[in-house]
Amino acid sequence: MKKKLLSCILAAVMALSMVACGGEAAPEAGTTSQSTEKTEVSKEEAAPAADVAATDLEPVTLKMYFHGSNVTDDSAVLDAVNAYLKDKINVTLEPVWGTWGDFDQNAVLSLQGGDDIDIYFTCSWSADEYNKFARDGYWVRLDNPDNNLIAQYGKELWDLLPEVLINGATVNGADGYGVYAIPGYKDIATQNCWDVNVTLLEKYGYTVDDIKNTDYYGFEEILKTVKEGEGADFYPLLVEGAVLERMVDNVTIVTGDSGTGNFMSYYLNPSDLSKPGAYGNKIVNKFATDEFKKFVEQTRKYYEEGFIDPAMGNKTQANDTRTNKQLSGQYLIGTQSYSLGYELQASQERGIHVEMVPCTDAFVDTTSSQGAMMAISTASKNPDRAMMFLNLLNTDPALMTLLNYGVDGIHYNTNADGTITFTDKRADYQPWTNGMGNVTILPPTDAQGVDFWDGFKAYYGTAKEIPILGFAYDGSQTETQMGAVANVVSEYMLSLCTGTVDPAEKLPEFLQKLEDNGINDIIADANSQLDAFMESKGQ
Amino acid sequence: MSKKASFKKTIFLTTMVLPGAIWFFLLRYLPMAGIILAFKNYKVYPKNPTFWNNLTHSEWTGIKNFKFLFATTDSWTYIRNTIGYNALWIVLGLVIAVAFAIMLNEITHKFVAKTYQTLMFFPYFLSWVVASYFLLAFLDPTRGLIDHFLINHGMNKIDWYNTPKYWPFILTICNLWKNIGYSSILYLAAITGIDTSQYEAAAIDGASKWQQIWYVTIPNLRPMICILLIMNVGKIFNADFGLFYTVPLDSGSLYSATMVIDTYIYQVMTATSNIGMSTAGGLLQNAVGFVCIVIANKIVKKIDEDSSLF
Amino acid sequence: MKRKRKINSISIPAEIACHIVLILFCLLCIVPFIFVVIISITSQDSIRAIGYSFFPKEISMEAYSYVLKLGDQLWRSYFNSFLVTVLGTFLTMLMTILYAYALYRKDFKFRGFFTFWAFFTMLFGGGLAPTYVVCKTVLGLSNSYAAIIVPMLLNPFNIIVMRTFFHSSIPEELIDAAAIDGAGEYRTLFKIIIPISKPGIATVGLLSALAYWNEWFIPMLYVRDAKYYPLQYLLMQMQTKVDFLVKNSSMIGAEASNIISTLPSDALRMALVVLIVVPIACAYPFFQRYIVSGLTIGSVKG
């Protein structure tokens, strides 16, 4: 009994000491905020002269929240980065390595809670969605006429970015129409392609040209031959329902639409993407068009003939199944949103010959141009220093390489031809390359080859800007309808787009329900916003 | 008892609740200020964007945030499903868990009973995601075990994930599977706490086993049954999101059988991500639960004063 | 004792019926877990070819060796989980018993108020963001073991269940008797009440130990330093990463598909479940000793 008592007391003491440890964090936080206040005062004197030497600047610590990191040991990198930054802009960087798993939840909480983080990763598809959070006032407007941070501290960076990126980043936010984040220069274009398993195709005496020369509505014969040859358990058409619909109908996502189940469409002009499409510069109800009806009827036909795996109609299962079938080469034609070099990588991973057959040329829309961005939080005490840092990061190859690839000689080695080869240490320090900003100033890796970035710039540099680039729908006036419609879309869309239900019965039911829940209000609202946007863009 | 002694007793008992009461205050009551989010349009206060500043400077919107719950043609479906499933499961869960607890208690070999009990707890460890994979192995449209069996025996296969009529049964089985172990252990512990002399007295009076269960075990379980019942009634407008979302693989064709308030709110949030609306939804759920609990408590109090919650 | 049970036990057919029902239900409970174990050792090629199956084409330990690559972090996290569970459960039980006992006492003047005080929080809460702000900025809970334990110390459900256990197992005369003997309130609780309430305490203890062991959400919110990661969070991170990449591969680009193609993703999901469940399932009998042994302890009288 005595022993038991003793152990209880011990445990209690331990607990108490731990609570005390936790308590200590509070005063610490207090002191840092004090010191930052101090810098704020002195900053005002330093502000007018932008090109001051690093030693004249007050030392500050910048916290930066990254997405998709896989970092277990950043000490070597941070030592080097901070030594470098001290000389350049007298900044100490404190990265927060958000991972694929926790970023969405934690970054949003940290923003809502007003944490003292200076720079956040943001984009069109993460939970701290660029456009919405800009409207709600979370991001500092960077080209604010009263305090133009880009003009003061980010000129080099701004001159270096392609125009499409700047156009895509200019949106309606809390402080008016402007730029609220620095877009990263990465794979910024969208190009939907048929992902063709050429190995299998040639087995049945066809060539890639047979795919190129026809379209979705002409696949039937090929699919049928291969299905018959491969057996009942083989499903030649491997589709992601939502992507398939966009590919076949040549439409693009309207940014600001409801998450994964989009219901607004902008029709592209496949012959010249920079011109208005079939419906002009208008947003339409995706499901009410003749094109959509024709598409779902054809898809249903393919489904009934056994060309599409029924698993593609189940939201939570579709992705897993699709990935598995891709990697084991169990498909003939798939849907793919292309990025440069994808066919080589895919061929290698899957052990088959993969080719991409594009449906349209590459184009830049709002969603793709906002694929990875860095925004300065309005909670930041040092927005101007944050901008200085972002400018340096995006223009200085040494810093970008250091932060992205690690330390030369530790995480990678430089080869004679200028490419780099990663070492084993890279496993401990692997931030998400594309999530960091301008990746074109990085050295090419040995896998990419010496002239990778030239090809990269050539491909993405020629991508066309669609007419409504930069437009993002603001649903704040129609939230009630948006919610109800999103739920209806989630009920019908995927099963229609993969053919698992009969459109003759379900499509009219679906359209009726959409109307009852107010989709027309949203479309009307979106079009009036688009008209206003086009007008302000034209000026 | 003297006044002084009674005063002393109050002091001592108060010191017992105090640590807990303070914890509740700090970690539960302080954040409750956030409930007003339900009536606000949450926007950042750019001058000093701390949470409290944002909250106090955001504009009031009245009941606008609640509108999305009712401005849809699906309101009736999700309300019916949420309350219907919960009501059914409260009753079924109660009856089966008590029955299992009594059975476990009556088994002569304690080692066997322990083994059963350990096994019954396993579902509690498996997340709904894992459970959904398991179910998929049986119901999969292309290689599921059941459809395989049906085809091999010359019957038509069933498209499980597109046929809503089977899902009330499937969901009920899943729910019981996961929760019975948990609640029967509570009842079992309550049974083992019963004074054995009551059984001895009953046995001496010639009561059969059934009579003993009816006249000794059940009355002794009554407080536990009532309390768990009341607490479950408080959750009548809350649904287990994982069960309704993950297990049917979020299949749209099943919505008429699987849509509940939690999945509806989730779908709306993916479209709008408005923190005020999600708070409003939660608040409504809790308010309904609160009303139900107060009524249930009143009823229980009428029947048996001691078994009521407060 | 044995003889007494025999006299007063159920008939043999009835007992057989009980066994059949319970065995069937237990099978239903354990087979999915066996399924999980089998998939965790199925090779990814087999899953790609024939899907999840009880009879894999090929066995592989790939998923486990992938997890073992975590190295020291894995053991560190096991230790953290263990520490958090033991310490957390102890503190939770202490506070729960104290709170519940006072509520059980009918002669406690503020009984109604404090019952409601606890119960009300079961229904209404401030939501995620406000709770996060209070914990982090007001209480300074971050990057420590306290940050994992403190936010989940009390659960009104446990308090009310505990109170009910007291109700059904402690005769009120016992307390009066203790009071007449002149025992202090704390002495009565620790020397008399707790020893005879073991089944209830063990049950609630089990439930809260499980809650601590399974928790990954709170560490995700409040802990950034890998030093404090409990096991469940470490493994959850792996899983959410896989899920996220599969879901968003089109937005993330080549890097995502690169990672996915090298991951034993399906087997990994299941291996993570096995690694979490096995230790706590082993701890289960420890609690069970007090729960099932039952009948012998119930007969203490005032």
Query: Does residue A517 lie within any of the structural domains?
Result: yes
CB contact under 8 A, A320 and C252: no
Angle subtended at Cα C234 by Cα C233 and Cα C239, rounded to the nearest 5 degrees = 90
**pLDDT at residue A38 in the model:** 36
The shortest CB-CB distance from A345 to any of C48, C49, C258 is to C258
Torsion on CA atoms C286, C290, C292, C298, rounded to nearest 10: 170
Interchain contact C87–A (C-beta under 8 A): yes
Return the number of other C-beta atoms located less than 10 Å from residue B112's C-beta. Answer: 14
Categorise residue A421: left if φ over 0, alpha if ψ from -120 to 50, beta otherwise: beta
- Residue A317, burial from CB neighbour count under 10 angstroms (0-12, 13-18, 19+): buried
**pLDDT at residue A51 in the model:** 52
Domain match, A305 and A434 both = no
Instruction: Tell me the pLDDT band of B1, cut-offs 50, 70 and 90.
Output: low
Interchain contact C302–B (C-beta under 8 A): no
Q: What is the mean pLDDT of chain A?
A: 86
**pLDDT at residue C103 in the model:** 93
The sign of the CA dihedral A284, A255, B67, B61 is: negative
What are the CA-CA distances from residue A370 to residues A66, A253, A311, A460, C255 (Å)?
16, 13, 31, 14, 18
Per residue in C52-87, pLDDT (tens digit) is: 778 888 888 888 988 888 788 889 999 999 999 999
**pLDDT at residue C9 in the model:** 66
Tokens of B301: 């109090």
CA distance A472 to chain C (A): 17
**pLDDT at residue B265 in the model:** 93
**pLDDT at residue A221 in the model:** 93
CA distance A350 to chain C (A): 9
Interchain contact B149–C (C-beta under 8 A): no
Q: How many CB pairs under 8 A join A and B?
A: 134
**pLDDT at residue C253 in the model:** 66
DSSP H or E run through C139: none
The shortest CB-CB distance from C244 to any of A101, A112, A123 is to A101
- Residue C150: list chain A partners with CB under 8 A: 19, 22
**pLDDT at residue A428 in the model:** 87
> B66-307: which CATH architecture?
Orthogonal Bundle (1.10)
Number of separate domains in chain A: 2
CA distance C245 to chain A (A): 7
**pLDDT at residue A72 in the model:** 85
User: A10-13: long-range contacts at Cβ-Cβ below 8 A with a sequence spacing of 24 or more?
Assistant: A11/C86, A11/C87, A11/C90
Whether A248 has a pLDDT exceeding 70, the answer reads yes
Domain match, A234 and A319 both = yes
Q: Is A462 helix (H, G, I), strand (E, B) or coil?
A: coil
DSSP H or E run through A343: helix A342-350
Domain match, A197 and A312 both = yes
Whether A6 has a pLDDT exceeding 60, the answer reads no
Whole-number Å distance between alpha carbons of B111 and B97: 20
CB contact under 8 A, A317 and B249: yes
**pLDDT at residue B169 in the model:** 96
Whether A34 has a pLDDT exceeding 60, the answer reads no
Domain match, A363 and A397 both = no
Last residue of a domain, one of A439, A461, A483: A461
**pLDDT at residue C56 in the model:** 85
The mean per-residue pLDDT over the stretch C222-238 comes to 87
Chain C interface test: which of B56, B125, B269, B274 (most C C-beta within 10 Å): B125
Chain C, 35 to 64: residues with Cβ < 8 Å from chain B are 35-36, 39, 50-54
CB contact under 8 A, A260 and B270: yes
**pLDDT at residue B279 in the model:** 92
Q: Give me the helices (H) in A231-332, please.
A: 241-249, 290-304, 315-327
Per residue in B245-292, pLDDT (tens digit) is: 989 988 889 999 999 999 999 999 888 888 899 999 999 999 999 999
CB contact under 8 A, B122 and C118: no
Whether A62 has a pLDDT exceeding 90, the answer reads yes
Whole-number Å distance between alpha carbons of C37 and A60: 51
CB contact under 8 A, A319 and C260: no
The sign of the CA dihedral A375, A377, A378, A381 is: negative
Instruction: Tell me the pLDDT band of C197, cut-offs 50, 70 and 90.
Output: confident
Query: What is the residue whose two structure tokens read 């949106």?
Result: A171
- Residue C243: list chain A partners with CB under 8 A: 101
Interchain contact B55–A (C-beta under 8 A): no
Whether B184 has a pLDDT exceeding 80, the answer reads yes
What are the CA-CA distances from residue A518 to residues A408, A410, A497, B73, B243 (Å)?
58, 58, 22, 10, 29
Could you tell me how far CA C113 lies from the centroid of its own chain? 29
> Chains contacting B with at least 3 CB pairs below 8 Å?
A, C
- Residue A486: list chain B partners with CB under 8 A: 267-268, 270-272
Q: How many CB pairs under 8 A join B and C?
A: 299
Instruction: Tell me the pLDDT band of A198, cut-offs 50, 70 and 90.
Output: very high
Helix C156-169 vs helix C72-104: crossing angle, to nearest 10: 50
Interchain contact C143–A (C-beta under 8 A): yes
Asked whether the beta carbons of A23 and C140 are under 8 A apart, the reply is yes
Q: Is A170 helix (H, G, I), strand (E, B) or coil?
A: strand
Q: Nearest Cα to C242, choosing from A445, B248, A324, A120? A: A324
Chain C interface test: which of A19, A103, A246, A460 (most C C-beta within 10 Å): A19
Per residue in A285-303, pLDDT (tens digit) is: 999 999 999 999 999 999 9
- Residue B223: list chain C partners with CB under 8 A: 164, 167-168
Torsion on CA atoms C271, A313, A315, A509, rounded to nearest 10: -160
Q: What are phi and psi of C235, to 5 degrees?
A: -75, -35
The mean per-residue pLDDT over the stretch A50-64 comes to 78
Instruction: Tell me the pLDDT band of C7, cut-offs 50, 70 and 90.
Output: low
- Residue B19: list chain A partners with CB under 8 A: none
Whether A39 has a pLDDT exceeding 60, the answer reads no
Interchain contact C74–A (C-beta under 8 A): no
The shortest CB-CB distance from A487 to any of B42, B141, B267 is to B267
Instruction: Tell me the pLDDT band of A1, cut-offs 50, 70 and 90.
Output: very low
The mean-pLDDT minimum among A518-532, C25-39, C95-109, C232-246 falls in: C232-246
Query: Does residue A265 lie within any of the structural domains?
Result: yes
Instruction: Tell me the pLDDT band of A10, cut-offs 50, 70 and 90.
Output: very low
DSSP secondary structure, C69-83, as one string: TTTHHHHHHHHHHHH
**pLDDT at residue A52 in the model:** 56
Query: What is the residue whose two structure tokens read 């930054």?
Result: A85
Beta bridge partners of A337: A192
Asked whether the beta carbons of C273 and C36 are under 8 A apart, the reply is yes
The mean per-residue pLDDT over the stretch A94-116 comes to 90
Domain match, A452 and A514 both = no
Whole-number Å distance between alpha carbons of A361 and A464: 8
**pLDDT at residue C300 in the model:** 38
**pLDDT at residue B310 in the model:** 78
DSSP one-letter code for C183: -
Interchain contact C72–B (C-beta under 8 A): no
- Residue A490: list chain B partners with CB under 8 A: 250, 252, 255, 267
Whether B137 has a pLDDT exceeding 50, the answer reads yes
* Among chain A residues, CA nearest to B265: A483
* Among chain C residues, CA nearest to B51: C133
Q: Which CATH class is domain C66-296?
A: mainly alpha
The mean per-residue pLDDT over the stretch A376-398 comes to 94
Amino acid residing at C15:
E
The mean per-residue pLDDT over the stretch A508-530 comes to 95
Instruction: Tell me the pLDDT band of A363, cut-offs 50, 70 and 90.
Output: very high
Query: Does residue A62 lie within any of the structural domains?
Result: yes
Domain boundaries along the sequence of chain C: 66-296
CB contact under 8 A, B189 and C28: no
Whole-number Å distance between alpha carbons of C61 and C68: 11
Domain boundaries along the sequence of chain B: 66-307
Whole-number Å distance between alpha carbons of B178 and B130: 12
Numbers of helices and strands, H then E, in chain C: 17, 0
**pLDDT at residue A292 in the model:** 95
Last residue of a domain, one of A433, A461, A489: A461
Spell out a b/e string for A502-529, using b for 16 or more CB atoms within 10 Å of the CB, else e. ebeebbeebbebbeebbbeebbebbbeb
Q: Nearest Cα to C86, choosing from B21, A18, B182? A: A18
Per residue in A462-507, pLDDT (tens digit) is: 888 999 998 989 888 898 999 999 999 999 999 999 999 999 999 9
Asked whether the beta carbons of A154 and A392 are under 8 A apart, the reply is no
* Among chain B residues, CA nearest to A490: B252
* Among chain A residues, CA nearest to B75: A484
CA distance A318 to chain B (A): 9
Chain B, 244 to 263: residues with Cβ < 8 Å from chain C are none
- CATH number (domain holding residue A326): 3.40.190.10
Whether C296 has a pLDDT exceeding 50, the answer reads no
Asked whether the beta carbons of B222 and B307 are under 8 A apart, the reply is yes
* Among chain A residues, CA nearest to B275: A112
Instruction: Say what the pTM is.
Output: 0.87
DSSP one-letter code for B164: G
Whether C44 has a pLDDT exceeding 50, the answer reads yes
Whether C1 has a pLDDT exceeding 60, the answer reads no
* Among chain A residues, CA nearest to B51: A113
**pLDDT at residue C175 in the model:** 82
Could you tell me how far CA C149 lies from the centroid of its own chain? 13
Whole-number Å distance between alpha carbons of A374 and A371: 10
Whole-number Å distance between alpha carbons of A167 and A366: 9
Whole-number Å distance between alpha carbons of C157 and C121: 10
Whether C259 has a pLDDT exceeding 80, the answer reads no
Instruction: Tell me the pLDDT band of A63, cut-offs 50, 70 and 90.
Output: very high
* Among chain B residues, CA nearest to C102: B13
* Among chain B residues, CA nearest to A309: B142
The mean per-residue pLDDT over the stretch A453-458 comes to 90
Interchain contact C168–B (C-beta under 8 A): yes
DSSP H or E run through A197: strand A192-197
Interchain contact B194–A (C-beta under 8 A): no
Q: Is A314 helix (H, G, I), strand (E, B) or coil?
A: coil
> Chains contacting C with at least 3 CB pairs below 8 Å?
A, B
Domain with A486, as residue range(s), is 192-367+469-538
CA distance B238 to chain A (A): 18
Spell out a b/e string for A16-25, using b for 16 or more CB atoms within 10 Å of the CB, else e. eebbeebeeb
Helix B167-192 vs helix B75-106: crossing angle, to nearest 10: 40
**pLDDT at residue A260 in the model:** 63
Per residue in C207-218, pLDDT (tens digit) is: 899 899 989 899
Between B143 and B294, the more confident residue is B294
Top-ranked range on mean pLDDT: pick from B106-110, C95-99, C256-260: C95-99
- Residue B142: list chain A partners with CB under 8 A: 233, 309-311
CB contact under 8 A, A113 and B51: yes
The shortest CB-CB distance from C144 to any of A11, A21, A112 is to A21
Query: Does residue A89 lie within any of the structural domains?
Result: yes
Instruction: Tell me the pLDDT band of A313, cut-offs 50, 70 and 90.
Output: confident
Whether C187 has a pLDDT exceeding 70, the answer reads yes
Instruction: Tell me the pLDDT band of C43, cut-offs 50, 70 and 90.
Output: confident
CB contact under 8 A, C245 and A346: no
Whole-number Å distance between alpha carbons of A90 and A84: 9
Instruction: Tell me the pLDDT band of A2, cut-offs 50, 70 and 90.
Output: very low
HEC-encoded secondary structure of A111-161 = HHCCCCCCEEEECCCCCCCHHHHHHCCCECCCEECCEEHHHHHCHHHHHHC
